[in-house]
Copies of this chain bind each other. A is one copy, B any other.
Amino acid sequence: MKQTLTHFDAAGHAHMVDIADKAVTHRVAVARGSIRMKPETLALVKRGSAKKGDVIGIARIAAIQGAKRTADLIPLCHPIPITRVAVELEIDEAASTVHCTATVECDGKTGVEMEALTAVQVGLLTVYDMCKAADRGMVIEQVRLLEKHGGKSGSFVAA
């Protein structure tokens, strides 16, 4: 593990890290998170997805757009030429939960982990927004990077 945080220079000042000398490689990141809700709320989401009032479809669009806003939201992120965003939302009745998984890819000098995580967060927030009149006690949980590939630091796969 690195003993310092790369987003700070030797004087401890925040900077956007210099990536000019890094190679342009193909990079992929997959992130995932969940929102847990009452079974009755999940039933409303499920009903909508099947017929009308499509919570899942709207959250997917918001997540894709969220990936594109990452450098606006996260102060030290580089703007990145994203080449692909795919977002899946699954209804898990056993856990009374909606899971959101985002895959982001680019050909660039730095990775797309933050883009994938931001997509997941915006997707889950959008589910919260659309269901909150029915259930304010929903909890977003287990948002994490599942895997990333490409770049000098190589691959990461969550345990």
Contacts and interface: CB of A to CB of B under 8 A. Distances in A.
B75 A83 contact: no
Contact of A64 (B53, B76, B109, B131): B76
A17 B131 CA distance: 13
B73 A8 contact: no
A22 to B, nearest CB: 8
Interface in A119-151: 121-122, 125-126, 128-145, 148
Contacts of A41: 1
A127 to B, nearest CB: 10
A94 interface: no
Interface of A: 1-9, 11-20, 26, 33, 38, 40-41, 44-45, 48, 51-55, 57-58, 60-62, 64-69, 71-79, 81-88, 105-107, 109, 113-114, 117-118, 121-122, 125-126, 128-145, 148, 153, 156, 158-159
